[in-house]
Every structure is written in C-alpha cells, then in structure tokens.
Amino acid sequence: MTTPPAIELDSVTVGYDRRTVCRDVSLRITEGSFTVFIGPNGCGKSTLLRTVARVLRPSEGRVAVLGRDIRGYSRRQYARTVGLLPQGIEAPAGMAVTDLVLRGRHPHRSALSRWTSQDEQAVTAALAVTGTTELGDRMLAELSGGQRQRAWLAMLLAQDTPILLLDEPTTYLDIAHQYEVLDLLADLHAGGRTVVAVLHDLNQAARYATDLVVLRDGHVTTTGHPSTVLTPDLVAEVFGLSCRVVPDPVTGTPAVFPESSRRTSTTHPRSGS
Ligand SMILES: Nc1ncnc2c1ncn2[C@@H]1O[C@H](COP(=O)(O)OP(=O)(O)OP(=O)(O)O)[C@@H](O)[C@H]1O
C-alpha cells in the first residue's frame, strides 16, 4: 500500500466572500517534505495555506491530510495534526510569552486536566529552541516584532504537530535570526515532520526546500526540486524579473541575482575617491 501524501488538494476553489482567489487547484505535498510556496504578492499563497489550516473553507474541491478529508477531523484532532503560524497576528492583550506558548498545549489537554510535566517540558523546550526563554515573563505587546515572531513560533512548536504550516516565518527577523528559524525548521524536517512554508526570499527557499510550489494568479504553475524549478525563465515568467541564477557559493543550490538593478557597478561608491 502506498503512503498517502501529507496534504492533498483536489480541484480546490477558494476565496473570500464572492471573490475567488484560487481556482481548481490540485496539489500533493509529500509526507516528510520541506515544501515552500513561492510567488508574487497576492497570488494566493496565504489563501492556500489558510485553506489547509481549515481557516478558509473551499467552495469546491476537497482537502485531505494524511489520507483523510479535513472535514472529518474534530477540532482537537486537527489541532494535534496541523499547526499554523499565520501572517501578521495580533498579540493578545496582557498576555505573557509563557502563557502564549502554553496555549500551544491546549489540544493535548483534556478539559479538566491540569498541566502535566510533559506540557511543561514542551513549553521549556520550545522557549529554548526559539531563544525566547529570557522573554518568558514579558508581555507580548511589549516585544519587538522579531521577538514576538519567535514567541509565536515557540507556541507552534509546543503544539507539537507532525505537519507545520508557516506563513512567512522570517518576517520581522534580522538576518541571523532568519537563518536560525530556517535551520530550526530544517531540524524539524530532518526529524520527520512535514514543513510547509511561504517564503519570499527565493535563495532561502532554494536552500531549504525539498519541494517548491510556484503560484501565480491563484494557480500552481510548477512544482519540483529547487534545482529544476528555479531558472531565469521561471523567475521572468512568474515575477517579471530578469535575473541570473548561479550556484549559491555556500550550498550549491540555485541563487537568484536580478540583472535589472540600477546599481550595476561592483565598486563601492566611495572606494574610488
Ligand atoms: N481577508 C480577505 N478578504 C478579501 N480578500 C482577501 C483577504 N485576504 C486576502 N485577500 C485577497 O486575496 C488575494 C490573495 O491573497 P493572499 O494573501 O493569499 O496572497 P499571497 O500570495 O499570500 O500574497 P503576499 O505575498 O502579498 O502575502 C489578494 O488579492 C488579496 O487581496
């Protein structure tokens, strides 16, 4: 028997009120993959991720997770299976970081039970790996954008789901923290989880993804390994950008360099004077 995909979209049409964003999208995301959605602003990346997370309901088609229609899961079962880090979430008023991270444990807890040592361990570990232990008692509203993003990520990790959906998880983060988060996702992937992320940085996408899903105007145009997908033609067609694609000097994965930049000189402006 073949293993079902982690996520399968079958002829999904979805949007907001009367506005359709994605029409007739079919897609299979392999279990244990690190899949990255790329595509221009407004092409429907978040909409598809939110559909898989059951935040949006398709008007047509079907979504299955681990071989089962997502409508067949109870809320609690689903929250134990799929975790979402949404884009631009509001900080709950008056909530401390540790309380937020504890929220991630809710799906693992029955209505009347107390927090267990397993819950505490999961929270401590999630704070540690996201570098937020020191921020545990701080109010979310008082944190910087990057600190807050890492606190939300800690909540997602405490949820401990086999499938992680992350909508632009590196937003607000400085370059070192961006790579820390991506490395953390790579570790989770190496540990067997299915990671699905939206990223804007094509070079980061190419470094970390096992599979790219390229979206444009609400359609999936291409899927596959970054080495085959990320070509100058693809970038020109999907983003309207003329570029060169060369091997990343560190990883050998494809790296995109725009050709149309106004700064064409390699000389530092002051170096010649
Ligand atoms: N809550 C909403 N109500 C109505 N339209 C929406 C809503 N959210 C998004 N849209 C529209 O749906 C389309 C797709 O948006 P979506 O957020 O999925 O794009 P995206 O590819 O994630 O974009 P970005 O890269 O800018 O984050 C856009 O035209 C957007 O304006």
Whether pLDDT at 131 is above 70: yes
- Token pair, residue 181, equals 């988060």
Query: pLDDT for 167-208, tens place per residue?
Result: 999 988 899 989 988 998 999 999 999 999 999 999 999 999
Confidence of residue 273 (pLDDT cuts 50, 70, 90): very low
Give the atom of ligand 1 at the shortest distance from the alpha carbon of 49: 18
Report the candidate in 11, 19, 15 with the shortest Cα–Cα distance to residue 60. Answer: 11
What number is the average pLDDT over the span 126-152? 90
ipTM given for this complex: 0.97
What number is the average pLDDT over the span 27-38? 97
- Residues flanking ligand 1, CB < 6 Å: 16, 19, 21, 39, 41-47
Whether pLDDT at 271 is above 90: no
What is the residue-averaged pLDDT of the chain?
91
At residue 90, the pLDDT reads: 77
What number is the average pLDDT over the span 5-12? 97
Calculate the alpha carbon distances from 200 to 84, 132, 203 in Å: 18, 25, 9
Give the atom of ligand 1 at the shortest distance from the alpha carbon of 40: 25
Report residue 60: phi and psi, to 5°.
-145, 155
Q: What is the pTM of this model?
A: 0.91
C-alpha 111 to ligand 1 mean position (Å) = 36
The helix (run of H) or strand (run of E) holding residue 14 is strand 7-16
Q: How far apart are the first and last CA of the chain?
A: 70
Report the candidate in 92, 15, 102, 83 with the shortest Cα–Cα distance to residue 51. Answer: 15
Report the candidate in 70, 2, 57, 63 with the shortest Cα–Cα distance to residue 28. Answer: 63
Confidence of residue 147 (pLDDT cuts 50, 70, 90): confident
Calculate the CA 52 to chain-centre distance.
12
Where exactly are the structural domains of the chain?
Answer: 92-160
